[in-house]
Amino acid sequence: MATHILRAKLMHNKRTYRDIEILSSKNLVSLADTILDAFQFGDKNHLFGFFSSLGSSYSKSPVRYE
């Protein structure tokens, strides 16, 4: 089974991060749930979005998945 390994960082504390491995077949909702679990964030109704930062702010990212 193919997997992806990624690093999730807190927006306002870049030194706090989690390295996460997830199956390639999982969708973005599963990825969001995995990230929230990794940070022990209990509110599963939290909004989320995925973007390519490429060194800029998330609001200026050319690629988004919301």
- Give the end-to-end CA distance of the chain in Å, rounded to a whole number: 26
Higher-confidence residue: 40 or 63?
40
* SS3 state at 48: coil
Let me know: does 27 contact 36? Beta carbons within 8 Å.
no
Query: Is pLDDT at 3 greater than 90 in this prediction?
Result: yes
User: pLDDT at position 64, please?
Assistant: 60
pTM of the model: 0.71
Residue 32 pLDDT > 80: yes
Q: Which of the residue ranges 8-12, 26-30, 39-43, 50-54 would you say has the lowest mean pLDDT?
A: 50-54
